[in-house]
């Protein structure tokens, strides 16, 4: 019995050990399977397991970025919803709580005074502010018939940028439409009332004119394709003929009351060209006869007119830059300068804008006589400071910004382009300038080695590029040679349509050619002594006047020159900032260009104004908006925002309702335009 029991016990122990071994084997097997599963498991799966188990996964940079973008978008859409949901009067209510009661808009104010619509009004928009729509395009522009490619939301520029650039460009040989592409100006008041949703151009002025009784039949937007040279707008679209016939119709249907013409920016030069064209005999001109302007125009109220050009045009054509772009390029050189997503921003902008012949109309005119030379300029000694208003054209400000300290470095504004700060500041006798005109050009390998967008710089070669930099300094005269050297195709087209000199003898028959008509220094005003010409512009904003350049690090592959933003003035109120020298102006047009012709060149009877047309200078001192709810403000002096300046609008409405320049008080001046004009030795 004990033997049997022992045997059974042994068998039980063996079974137990076998069971334990089997269990152990199963555990090991399960463990190895778990290990295999863990190895095969994706990172996302592991993360989910950790989260299920209560463990927190580590956040990556991408997670943080996604959350940040999501939060910004959510807050933005919430604010946008609240803004659209609030009553339209709420922003005005808040503004009045903060700043006190707002003044009546000019239209409301003048209606209370009893003013009503009298003279028909013609608006002449400037460069880039008029809408352009597609009438014919390539396959990539399918579905865009009569959609705006310029102006509006600019949606297509984001959706298909290369297609957009292709359609916005003109033919590099003719300056007209490329084969298979037709962009045409939008017509009517909507052509330039808003540049894009919420960004007004002419809308505020139109609305205020409507307050005293104006409507579309007494207002006309003389829209044109601002990319074309002025004469080519007539060749291709008959725009000048349309303006002529429309003005004639408006005068005839308004009881013979003459038109008040209001050009803005480049539109000032365009209308100057029109006045010569309309009186010139056909086929070059409109055949209206020598008294057409006298019969049809009461006043020309030029807003922000670049009569003598703008230095900004030089930097734009030379390196596709202005001050803001140069700063952005310095902050993010990879975005603007390099091949990001195969869209090389600045190169494509340069290639496109150099086909727009109109940009060459704003190259500085008058050479060193107007803009100064290596060692002098009319604005010499200028420093920003408080100014007092002058209401009489015979007075000159005694509190102007000219009290410069002798310890300060002299600013040579006549040197529009300088390579290096030493070239900008040193006496001209110490600057070694190597002539670039005879430099040997040679094609570089940029097209194949850098996948670059072709520009005319590729035909210069590195030796030609170095020769440009070694010349060191360029004035208003030599900058024409510079542009001729770096962009010969562009300048060949431009020289057929524009001129930049000063006429010795205005009776010379050569000045009957249309290339001289938009240069006030090479043409006469019409024989119409009863017309009044106003120069109206903002002041009090630093405006680009001269630039310090350097060669780009990647000169062989991209645009070889750029503004050197590392240079700053030594003093807090210095005119040098981010490699750009600034003077008095409206942020785009210097006072010298906007005001000289009405302050001196056309003042009284001169060879440029033989009939003695009365001229007035009306400046509007810049005051930024008091708070964000004021938008762009009602006292702005900046180049476009001045179109919403209540004082300027009031002046325009008064003249349109029958007032004269004397009724407005004559000149209204804050700057030193009269003093600077006297420094210019121009035979009148």
Tell whether the model's pLDDT for residue 38 goes beyond 60. no
The Cα–Cα gap between 371 and 587 comes to: 17
pLDDT at 512: 95
In tens, the pLDDT along 136-146 reads 999 999 999 99
Tell whether the model's pLDDT for residue 158 goes beyond 90. no
Which position has the higher pLDDT, 399 or 418?
A: 418
E strands, 504-602, in order: 532-539, 541-551, 561-563, 576-577, 580-585
pLDDT at 93: 59
- Confidence class for position 1, pLDDT limits 50, 70, 90: very low
Token reading at 81: 């919803």
- Confidence class for position 571, pLDDT limits 50, 70, 90: confident
Tell whether the model's pLDDT for residue 438 goes beyond 80. no
pLDDT at 345: 74
Residues that are catalytic:
265, 586, 639
For 196, the 3-state DSSP assignment is: strand
The Cα–Cα gap between 279 and 240 comes to: 12
Residue 549: how many CB atoms within 10 A of its CB?
A: 25
Tell whether the model's pLDDT for residue 339 goes beyond 50. no
Taking CA 82 as the corner, what is the angle to CA 79 and CA 87, rounded to the nearest 5 degrees? Answer: 140
Residues 6 or more apart from 575 whose CB is under 8 A from it?
382, 383, 384, 411, 542, 545, 569, 581, 582, 583
Residues 6 or more apart from 634 whose CB is under 8 A from it?
103, 625, 644, 645, 646
Which position has the higher pLDDT, 570 or 499?
A: 499
pLDDT at 403: 45
String of DSSP letters for 59-127: PPHHHHHHHHHHHHHHHHHHHHHHHHHS-TTHHHHHHHHHH-PPPPPHHHHHHHTT----S-EEEE--T
What average pLDDT does the structure give for the chain?
A: 84
pLDDT at 121: 98
pTM for the full predicted model:
0.84
Tell whether the model's pLDDT for residue 441 goes beyond 90. no
The Cα–Cα gap between 599 and 537 comes to: 13
Percentage of the chain beyond pLDDT 70 is 78
Token reading at 465: 């590029």
pLDDT at 334: 52
In tens, the pLDDT along 216-234 reads 999 999 999 999 999 999 9
Which position has the higher pLDDT, 95 or 49?
A: 95
Strands 417-419 and 473-474: antiparallel
In tens, the pLDDT along 539-560 reads 999 999 999 999 887 645 578 8
Name the most confidently modeled range: 288-292, 336-340, 421-425. Answer: 288-292
- Confidence class for position 437, pLDDT limits 50, 70, 90: confident
pLDDT at 449: 47
Query: Any idea of the CA torsion for 363, 359, 684, 502, to the nearest 10 degrees?
Result: 60
In tens, the pLDDT along 85-123 reads 766 555 655 555 665 666 789 999 999 999 999 999 999
Token reading at 636: 């702005």
Tell whether the model's pLDDT for residue 573 goes beyond 70. yes
H/E element, 614:
strand 614-621
Chain Cα centroid distance, residue 42: 52
The Cα–Cα gap between 650 and 634 comes to: 12
For 538, the 3-state DSSP assignment is: strand
């Amino acid at each position: 019995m004990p033997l049997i029991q022992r045997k059974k016990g042994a068998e039980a122990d063996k079974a137990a050990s076998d069971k334990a071994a089997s269990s152990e084997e199963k555990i090991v097997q399960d463990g190895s399977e778990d290990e295999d599963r863990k190895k095969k498991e994706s990172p996302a799966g592991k993360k989910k397991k950790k989260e299920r188990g209560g463990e927190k996964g580590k956040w990556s940079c991408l997670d943080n970025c996604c959350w940040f973008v999501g939060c910004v978008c959510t807050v933005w859409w919430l604010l946008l919803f609240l803004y659209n949901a609030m009553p339209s009067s709420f922003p005005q209510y808040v503004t009045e709580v903060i700043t006190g009661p707002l003044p009546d808009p000019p239209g409301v104010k003048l209606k209370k005074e009893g003013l009503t619509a009298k003279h028909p009004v013609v608006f002449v928009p400037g460069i880039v502010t008029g809408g352009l729509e597609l009438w014919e395009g390539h396959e990539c522009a399918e579905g865009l018939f009569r959609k705006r490619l310029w102006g509006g939301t600019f949606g297509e520029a984001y959706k298909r940028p290369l297609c957009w650039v292709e359609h916005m460009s003109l033919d590099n040989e003719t300056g007209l439409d490329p084969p298979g592409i037709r962009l045409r100006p939008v017509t009517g008041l909507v052509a330039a009332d808003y540049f894009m949703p919420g960004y007004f151009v002419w809308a505020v002025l139109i609305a205020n004119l409507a307050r005293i009784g104006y409507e579309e039949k007494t207002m006309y937007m003389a829209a044109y394709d601002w990319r074309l040279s002025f004469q080519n707008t007539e060749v291709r679209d008959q725009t000048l003929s349309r303006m002529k016939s429309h003005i004639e119709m408006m005068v005839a249907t308004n009881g013979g009351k003459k038109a008040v013409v209001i050009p803005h920016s480049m539109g000032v030069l365009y209308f100057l060209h029109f006045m010569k064209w309309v009186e010139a005999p056909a086929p070059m001109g409109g055949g209206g006869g020598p008294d057409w302007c006298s019969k049809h125009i009461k006043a020309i109220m030029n807003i922000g007119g670049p009569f003598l050009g703008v230095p900004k045009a030089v930097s734009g054509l030379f390196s596709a830059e202005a001050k803001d772009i140069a700063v952005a390029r310095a902050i993010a050189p990879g975005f603007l300068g390099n091949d990001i997503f195969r869209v090389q921003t600045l190169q494509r902008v340069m290639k496109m804008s150099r086909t727009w012949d109109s940009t060459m109309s704003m190259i500085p005119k008058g050479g060193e006589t107007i803009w100064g030379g290596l060692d002098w300029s009319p604005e010499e000694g200028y420093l920003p400071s408080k100014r007092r208003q002058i209401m009489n054209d015979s007075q000159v400000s005694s509190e102007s910004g000219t009290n410069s300290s002798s310890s300060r470095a002299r600013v040579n504004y006549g040197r529009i382009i300088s390579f290096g700060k030493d070239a900008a500041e040193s006496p001209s006798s110490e600057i070694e300038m190597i002539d670039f005109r005879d430099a040997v050009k040679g094609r570089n390998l940029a097209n194949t080695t850098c996948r670059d967008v072709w520009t005319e710089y590729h035909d210069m070669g590195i030796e030609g590029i170095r020769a440009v930099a070694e010349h060191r300094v360029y004035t208003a005269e030599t900058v024409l040679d510079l542009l001729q050297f770096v962009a010969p195709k562009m300048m060949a087209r431009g020289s057929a349509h524009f001129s930049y000199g000063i006429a010795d003898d205005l009776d010379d028959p050569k000045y009957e050619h249309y290339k001289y008509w938009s240069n006030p220094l090479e043409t006469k005003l019409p024989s119409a002594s009863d017309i009044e010409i106003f120069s109206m512009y903002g002041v009090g904003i630093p405006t680009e006047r001269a630039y310090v350049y350097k060669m780009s690090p990647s000169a062989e592959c991209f645009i070889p020159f750029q503004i050197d933003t590392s240079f700053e003035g030594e003093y807090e109120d210095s005119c040098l900032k981010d490699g750009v020298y600034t003077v008095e102006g409206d942020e785009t047009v210097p006072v010298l260009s906007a005001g000289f012709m009405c302050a001196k060149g056309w003042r009284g009877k001169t060879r440029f104004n033989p009939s003695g047309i009365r001229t007035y200078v009306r400046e509007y001192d810049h005051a930024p908006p008091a708070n964000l709810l004021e938008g762009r403000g009602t006292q702005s002096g900046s180049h476009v925002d001045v179109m919403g300046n209540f004082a300027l609008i009031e002046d325009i409405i008064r003249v349109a309702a029958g007032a004269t320049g004397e009724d407005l008080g004559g000149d209204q001046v804050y700057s030193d335009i009269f003093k600077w004009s006297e420094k210019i030795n121009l035979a009148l």
